[in-house]
Amino acid sequence: MSYQGWSDFRSDTVTRPTPEMYEAIRTAELGDDVLGDEPTVQKLERTAAEMTGKEAALFVPSGTMGNTIALFVHPTRAREVLLEEKCHILQFEAGNIGTLIGAVPHPLPSRRGLIDMKELQAGYKAPGNMHVAPTAGICLENTHNYHGGAVLPISYLREVHSFAREKGLFMHLDGARMFNAAVSLGVDVTEITACFDTVMFCLSKGLASPVGSMLVGSKEFIAMARFARKQFGGALRQSGILAACGLVSLQTMTRKLTDDHRRAQTFAQAIAKIPGLDISPVEVESNIVIFTVRKEGWSNDRLCGEMKKEKVLALTFGPGRVRMIVHKDIDDADINRAVESLRTILGHF
């Protein structure tokens, strides 16, 4: 369903709140979260902890803040963190891991977000050598943004978890689109979260909330995370207005992601048939569609500019690449419109 005549594929963060969310905002019971009496926020945190199988949860303004707090509370200062070389924490969070946290990022290559176990084993540094920073933990991303919503299988997560336990390392998941991963895998989200000590997931990516993310973990960890949120300036007052939307996200929007995945696959298959564009539909595992512009004389910037004239919005995403994300405000008509726009533009010139 296009908004004001536009089909906006730039991200699944551009969604408008649902009518149920507006009603939840209107009727939300409010307090003061900093004073510890915000009932709607407390209900959201309890719900998030229960759904993910963790002891406690913390509502934070953004996924970046959630990841930053997690790595700040884990013992990472002057210690290495193993992560994938194109992950969001490393590439798109303003250098927080080094500047605010004081951790040493150790990026590792991957196959669409999946770091080979041999790479993890080789990257591990045991404590005791005064010349090198020892390894503190492992961060994974599921689904993986840069790699087009790629999904890490449960068997792999369990294997990495076993290695981490053997070496005494923490496991943190950037699960911004974790519910998409669970839908793609056909499992309950707790099968994913069980492999990690801490997990961040977004309410505003795919789940339609206007603002907010959750950080989940043990009671002790979340208590320290709450203190860290205050340090980073993320303490909120009548945030039940936002938490009310988050509850709707968890209670209703998580069940609607299958439609986004179906439309993304339909879109990818149509794009694969357009000369000048390169995509492998089998690699579209969730709601993110990334293709490469191969047509001679064309760049991704030019193509996105021409699409914008047709009121279809997309993002350039690396050399020659275009990212288009399906979400609850994109319906079948929007998919058809985008496909026809691409065919017309590339066929006309």
Judgement on whether residues 68 and 164 belong to the same structural domain of the protein: yes
> How many structural domains compose the chain?
2
Query: Is residue 186 domain-resident?
Result: yes
Kindly give, in sequence order, each residue whose CB lies less than 8 Å from that of residue 250, ignoring residues fewer than 6 positions away.
Answer: 44, 47, 48, 51, 203, 207
The backbone torsions φ and ψ at residue 263, rounded to the nearest 5 degrees and listed phi first, read -65, -35
d(CA 68, CA 8): 29
Q: What is the pLDDT of residue 339?
A: 97
Say which CATH number the domain at 296 has: 3.90.1150.10
Mean pLDDT per 10-residue run, the chain (349 residues)? 85 96 97 93 98 98 97 96 98 94 97 97 96 97 97 98 98 98 98 98 97 98 97 92 98 96 98 96 97 95 96 96 97 97 87
Judgement on whether residues 238 and 309 belong to the same structural domain of the protein: no
Say which CATH number the domain at 98 has: 3.40.640.10
Judgement on whether residues 247 and 308 belong to the same structural domain of the protein: no
Judgement on whether residues 340 and 205 belong to the same structural domain of the protein: no
Judgement on whether residues 219 and 263 belong to the same structural domain of the protein: no
Judgement on whether residues 244 and 260 belong to the same structural domain of the protein: no
Q: What is the pLDDT of residue 349?
A: 61
Query: Is residue 203 domain-resident?
Result: yes
Q: What is the pLDDT of residue 2?
A: 65
Which residues sit opposite 267 in a β-bridge? Answer: none
Token pair in block for residue 10: 């730039």
User: Is residue 219 exposed (0-12), middle (13-18) or buried (19+ Cβ within 10 Å)?
Assistant: exposed
Q: What is the pLDDT of residue 235?
A: 87
Q: What is the pLDDT of residue 348?
A: 67
Judgement on whether residues 141 and 202 belong to the same structural domain of the protein: yes
Q: What is the pLDDT of residue 53?
A: 98
Query: pTM value?
Result: 0.96
The backbone torsions φ and ψ at residue 296, rounded to the nearest 5 degrees and listed phi first, read -60, 135
Judgement on whether residues 195 and 328 belong to the same structural domain of the protein: no
Q: Would you call 321 helix, strand, or coil by DSSP?
A: strand
The backbone torsions φ and ψ at residue 154, rounded to the nearest 5 degrees and listed phi first, read -60, -40
Domain that holds residue 170: 19-254
Judgement on whether residues 107 and 155 belong to the same structural domain of the protein: yes
Judgement on whether residues 68 and 162 belong to the same structural domain of the protein: yes
For tokens 């179906």, the residue is 262
